[in-house]
DNA sequence: GCTTTTGTTCTATTAGTTATAGAACAAAAG
DNA sequence: CTTTTGTTCTATAACTAATAGAACAAAAGC
């Protein structure tokens, strides 16, 4: 699990941590039962305050992606199978896809870019650790 | 052009305005040369401050989607053909798609949702105003 | 010419967010 | 009993979002 934070980016640090954990779960780099580092450890590694890491973990807990407890720390939960796509996700996707189309990028290119990204998530799972 | 703002939403008002204009351009409801309402008019319609609308329009101008001038107001610019997908767009798409996959939604369902959204952008253009 | 309309720019204030800091608590492992 | 861990509290500084008011400048319309 390699995380990076960019203190100068316009994305908040706690959001960057949250996003990278989400991507690691999608890639299969983090699976059910995987442990995340203790908040104080991760904060020390990044040279940031532990409250910032705590905020990122708390957000992931609210989203149901990890569970938190004393001593066992932060553990990735099982993804419930056959989930429905939440309407707020669709709304955010609509805005993001519209942005590309409004800029003049052909719809089929946008869809291909999505396909490529989704394909990249399937390539780092247990069976084919490359 | 019908715009709506939700004062209680966690998305900033100026961002909501910007997003809806982007989606209107993607749908073809706004095309090259279309005029947006004057900032004071739009602000009065929503019951918000004109500086907030000004911020949204300024953002759209920075993105190259509209051009602003006194008296002609805000006008939608032509989308440059054959644009490349910007890397920051890909990064945001990666995070959004990863979020769906991490929640247990199958990749093919996510891709189908993207396809459906992209298809919906093509249905309101000049040739087939339904 | 004068008024109106329009975007633009300036200062200012209030409320909320982000990140930091320090202290303390509580549960559980060793 | 100590250490490790998440959790909770107060506090502060810097930044963002939204509002408010004033004023400016260019161009249209009369």
In chain B, what are the domain boundaries? 13-76, 87-128
Whether A66 and A57 have beta carbons less than 8 Å apart is answered as yes
**Strand C bases within 7 angstroms of protein beta carbons:** 5-10, 17-22, 26-29
Strand runs labelled E in A11-119: 35-36, 66-69, 73-76
- Is A82 an 8 Å CB contact of chain B? yes
DSSP state of B123: G
Say how far apart CA B46 and CA B61 lie, in whole Å: 21
Task: Look at residue B128 and tell me whether its pLDDT is greater than 80.
Answer: no
Whether B90 and A113 have beta carbons less than 8 Å apart is answered as yes
- Is A68 an 8 Å CB contact of chain B? no
| CB contact (8 A) between residue B97 and residue A121 | yes
- Is A79 an 8 Å CB contact of chain B? yes
| CB contact (8 A) between residue B121 and residue A83 | no
Task: Look at residue A129 and tell me whether its pLDDT is greater than 50.
Answer: no
The angle, 0 to 180 degrees and rounded to 10, between the axes of the packed helices A87-102 and B13-27 is: 60
Q: What is the complex's ipTM, to 2 decimals?
A: 0.91
Domain range B13-76, CATH class? mainly alpha
Q: How confident is the model at residue B2 (pLDDT cuts 50, 70, 90)?
A: confident
At A17-41, the pLDDT tens digits run 999 999 999 999 999 999 999 999 9
b/e for A109-118, b at 16 or more Cβ within 10 A? ebbebbbebb
At B75-116, the pLDDT tens digits run 999 888 778 999 999 999 999 999 999 999 999 999 999 999
Give which of B66, B129, B94 is closest to A20, Cα–Cα: B94
Whether A49 and B125 have beta carbons less than 8 Å apart is answered as no
Say how far apart CA A53 and CA A109 lie, in whole Å: 37
What's the Å distance between residue B66 CA and nucleotide C13 C1'?
Answer: 31
| SS3 state of residue B58 | helix
At B19-56, the pLDDT tens digits run 999 999 999 999 999 999 999 999 999 999 999 999 99
Give which of B112, B107, B88, B85 is closest to B97, Cα–Cα: B107
| SS3 state of residue B79 | coil
Any atom of strand D under 7 A from CB of B49? yes
């Amino acid at each position: 699990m390699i995380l990076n934070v960019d203190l100068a980016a316009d994305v908040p640090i706690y959001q960057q941590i949250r996003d990278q954990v989400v991507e690691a779960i999608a890639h299969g780099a983090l699976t059910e039962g995987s442990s995340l580092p203790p908040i104080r450890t991760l904060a020390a590694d990044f040279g940031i305050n532990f409250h910032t890491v705590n905020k990122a973990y708390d957000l992931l807990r609210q989203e149901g992606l990890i569970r938190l407890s004393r001593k066992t720390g932060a553990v990735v939960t099982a993804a419930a199978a056959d989930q429905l796509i939440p309407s707020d996700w669709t709304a955010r996707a609509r805005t993001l896809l519209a942005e590309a189309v409004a800029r003049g990028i052909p719809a089929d290119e946008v869809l291909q870019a999505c396909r490529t990204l989704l394909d990249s998530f399937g390539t780092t799972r247990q069976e084919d650790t490359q």
